[in-house]
């Protein structure tokens, strides 16, 4: 039989030893289908390298994005120091480039496609979402940032913030899709719920920012008196880019890494008696 039980396996829900039990039976301890345990172990065995890359890449992505946020904060301070003169572009490049490389390195590591069994194949691919996020992040730092530095136009800096915020929103959504898929395999119900909430919050934050930007542009074009929305938009965009998305991503990444670590640990072969 193709799906015959191996010599050693544990229930992925409660850890009960399933050795010798028929694959179509439920777990005697918790009632979970035993077949799911073998499907999970086959999935991890096929994708062990990719899961390890994602496990490391998620942490690098968090560190890189925090570095980018700090670099943008220092860049906004440096711009208003005219005494530096021609050194400003060089300082900005030195601040932003290492952070951007760290962010992209971690993000590319999490794009690794996973090979799901036919019965476990998800509807949405996290790789496609994260690929678009990496492209948007590269576009913002490679093209919009130099133009913003050279022109010193607020519109270019706003376009850069929109690009980076949209990319980070896609990073949260892509990692949320991955967390939902893996949570279904490892019975992490709370991780799947939080991943859906995190993806929804990220989409609402980015959509709300776009609506405020459109409203501020309309107000500026119509020259309406009163409190300008542009100031509020700047504050909201900076807050969501530096605090909102990284905080969401950090909590999501912690749960995602725990889920992957649990899958890798439970699917590892047992130690041989000679090594004990």
Domain residue ranges in the chain: 1-46, 47-59+121-265
pLDDT of the chain along its 276 residues, tens only? Answer: 444 444 346 676 676 777 777 777 788 888 777 777 677 777 777 788 888 888 888 888 777 777 776 776 676 666 666 666 566 666 666 766 777 777 777 777 788 777 776 666 677 777 888 888 888 877 877 777 777 767 767 677 777 777 877 888 888 888 888 888 887 776 677 888 888 898 898 888 888 777 777 776 666 666 655 455 556 666 666 676 667 777 888 888 888 888 888 777 766 655 443 443
* Measured distance CA(128)–CA(113) in Å, rounded: 9
Q: Is the pTM of this model over 0.75?
A: no
What percent of the residues of the chain are helix, what percent strand, and what percent coil, each to the nearest 5? 75, 0, 25
- The pLDDT assigned to 211 comes to 78
Helix axes 87-110, 154-186, angle to 10 degrees: 20
Between CA 200 and CA 184 the distance in angstroms is 19
Q: What's the confidence (pLDDT) of residue 272?
A: 44
What's the confidence (pLDDT) of residue 5?
40
């Amino acid at each position: 039989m193709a799906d015959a039980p191996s010599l050693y396996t544990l229930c992925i829900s409660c850890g009960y030893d399933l050795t010798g039990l028929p694959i179509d039976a439920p777990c005697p301890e918790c009632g979970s289908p035993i077949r799911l345990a073998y499907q999970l172990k086959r999935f991890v065995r096929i994708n062990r390298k990719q899961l390890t890359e994602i496990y490391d890449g998620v942490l690098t992505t968090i560190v890189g994005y925090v570095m980018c946020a700090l670099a943008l904060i220092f860049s906004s301070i440096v711009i208003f120091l005219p005494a530096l003169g021609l050194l400003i572009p060089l300082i900005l490049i030195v601040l932003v480039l290492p952070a951007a490389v760290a962010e992209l390195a971690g993000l590319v590591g999490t794009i690794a496609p996973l090979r799901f069994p036919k019965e476990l194949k998800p509807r949405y691919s996290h790789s496609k979402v994260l690929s678009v996020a990496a492209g948007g992040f590269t576009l913002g730092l490679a093209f919009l940032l130099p133009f913003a530095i050279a022109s010193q136009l607020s519109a270019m800096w706003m376009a850069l913030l929109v690009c980076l915020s949209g990319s980070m929103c896609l990073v949260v959504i892509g990692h949320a899709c991955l967390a939902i898929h893996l949570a279904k395999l490892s019975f992490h119900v709370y991780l799947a719920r939080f991943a859906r909430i995190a993806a929804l919050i990220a989409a609402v934050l980015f959509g709300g920012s776009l609506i405020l930007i459109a409203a501020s542009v309309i107000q500026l074009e119509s020259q309406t008196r009163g409190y300008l929305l542009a100031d509020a938009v700047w504050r909201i965009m900076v807050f969501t880019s530096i605090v909102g998305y990284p905080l969401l991503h950090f909590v999501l990444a912690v749960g995602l890494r725990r889920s992957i670590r649990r899958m890798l640990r439970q699917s590892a072969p047992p130690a041989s008696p000679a090594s004990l």
